[in-house]
């Protein structure tokens, strides 16, 4: 058994004192647990003896260690149990239901059955909180890609009516953060009443809520229209990509009139941009007018960017108030972006067992009164099994 990796010494952070058990896989549930661990909670991940379904997901190192798994499980403790046996399930239940204020909280996106069902766990610990992620609200399975394809966004992405998938697992990420919100809401109620509860969240409902909250469901029902694909243009305002003379690309955004005026000053094209708006009879003082004139405005701006390198664009825009950013590969992000560096207090160097040393993010939140702990490495699978079982009264 490897040594304990993240022993429960007192940890700083606004969630210090909370003890959360995970039974997770893939993105949403592990992200929820890591988010809470980064704010000071003790988070114990329980996996089968050979690891969960996400133990070896890409990206991986050359010798097969999962960078994905290590990155989503930073700062946790790891327990490995034979969860396919009654003995393993009983040990997991003991860990979940262990006595202590701040404990009795479980997060899972796996089927909660048998000894790990909410009914049996809450019978042992009435103040138990179970935060459970479903695929669809009826309990049928779904994953990010099977939800995203139905969301309407792939048909609004790209430049044609053919659907285009994006590679960001947006619904998993949003669901993970919803899980943390639901858990903290249930824990707040438990503090007030002493009562636990089961809280469920469906991945497809996260998608539907988001589409509705952004106005696209109402747009269909009220206006009878569906957002069209507009390539890299910003829908409803002015913004799009431009190529530079050295083969790079930048995104320029001007949502407000002040931002649009700053773009004109930074490029020296204020007069020509106004003339372009007049030629297409667009009111450039409104978002909708700038969107309607987007092609004319882009025609004015394209030669300016094409005549300059990325460095020259950066110099011209520095301190101007104009909104822009360079398109970057992951490699360029690491090599070129000063925000992705040790100068950003969110980052710290970690030594990840079996992988090596690299710069890793902690919590993006910063509290004026509660210091947030720096990034901590992910545990080796099962590194904390004996310590956690002993604390739960199950040492063997």
Catalytic residues: 172
Residue 84, number of CB atoms within 10 A of its CB: 9
> Secondary structure of 62-74 in the HEC alphabet?
CCCCEHHHHHHCC
d(CA 185, CA 180): 9
What residues contact 93, with CB distance under 8 A and at least 6 apart? 115, 116, 120, 121, 124
| DSSP-assigned states of every residue in 219-272 | IIIII---PPP-TTSPTTSEEEEEE-TTS-EEEEEE-SHHHHHHHHHHHT-HHH
Whole-Å CA distances, 65 to 76, 167, 348: 17, 22, 21
| DSSP-assigned states of every residue in 178-212 | HHHHHHHHHHHHHHHH---EEEEEEHHHHHHHHHH
Pairing of strands 129-134, 197-202: parallel
What residues contact 103, with CB distance under 8 A and at least 6 apart? 19
d(CA 300, CA 166): 30
DSSP code, position 375: P
d(CA 190, CA 188): 5
Edge-to-edge strand list for the sheet holding 129-134: 77-81, 42-48, 19-23, 105-108, 129-134, 197-202
Among 132, 78, 128, which residue's Cα sits nearest to residue 108? 132
Q: Where are the beta strands (DSSP E) in 57-177?
A: 77-81, 105-108, 129-134
- The answer to whether 293 and 282 are in contact (CB under 8 A) is yes
d(CA 37, CA 173): 16
Using the Cα atoms of residue 185, residue 205, residue 118 and residue 4 in order, give the sign of their dihedral.
negative
């Amino acid at each position: 058994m490897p040594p304990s990796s993240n022993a429960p010494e007192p940890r700083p952070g606004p969630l210090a004192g909370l003890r959360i058990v995970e039974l997770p896989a893939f993105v949403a549930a592990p992200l929820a647990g890591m988010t809470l661990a980064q704010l000071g909670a003790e988070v114990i991940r329980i996996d089968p003896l050979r690891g969960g379904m996400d133990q070896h997901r890409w990206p991986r190192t050359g010798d097969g260690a999962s960078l994905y798994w290590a990155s989503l499980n930073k700062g946790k403790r790891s327990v490995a149990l034979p969860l396919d046996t009654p003995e393993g399930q009983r040990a997991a239940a003991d860990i979940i239901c262990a006595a202590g204020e701040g404990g009795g909280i479980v997060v899972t996106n796996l089927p909660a059955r048998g000894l790990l069902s909410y009914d049996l766990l809450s019978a042992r610990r009435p103040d138990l909180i179970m935060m459970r992620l479903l695929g669809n609200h009826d309990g049928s399975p779904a994953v990010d890609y099977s939800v995203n394809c139905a969301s309407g966004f792939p048909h609004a992405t790209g430049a044609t009516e053919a659907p285009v998938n994006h590679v960001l697992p947006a619904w998993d990420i949003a669901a993970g953060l919803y899980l943390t919100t639901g858990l903290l809401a249930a824990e707040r109620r438990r503090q007030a009443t002493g009562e636990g509860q089961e809280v469920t969240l469906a991945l497809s409902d996260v998608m539907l809520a988001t589409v509705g909250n952004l106005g696209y469901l109402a747009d269909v029902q009220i206006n009878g229209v569906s957002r069209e694909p507009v390539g890299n243009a910003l829908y409803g305002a002015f913004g799009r990509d431009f190529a530079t003379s050295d083969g790079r690309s930048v995104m320029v955004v001007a949502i407000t009139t002040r931002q649009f005026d700053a773009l004109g000053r930074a490029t020296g094209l204020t007069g020509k941009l106004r003339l372009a708006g007049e030629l297409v009879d667009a009111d450039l003082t409104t978002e909708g007018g700038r969107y309607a004139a987007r092609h004319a405005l882009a025609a004015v701006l394209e030669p300016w960017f094409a005549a300059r390198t990325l460095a020259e664009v950066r110099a011209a825009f520095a301190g101007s108030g104009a909104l822009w950013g360079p398109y970057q590969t992951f490699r360029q992000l690491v090599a070129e972006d000063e925000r992705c560096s040790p100068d950003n207090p969110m980052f710290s160097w970690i030594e990840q067992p079996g992988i090596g040393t690299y710069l890793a993010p902690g919590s993006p939140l910063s509290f004026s009164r509660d210091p947030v702990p720096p990034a901590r490495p992910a545990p080796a699978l099962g590194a904390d099994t004996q310590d956690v079982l002993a604390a739960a009264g199950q040492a063997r």
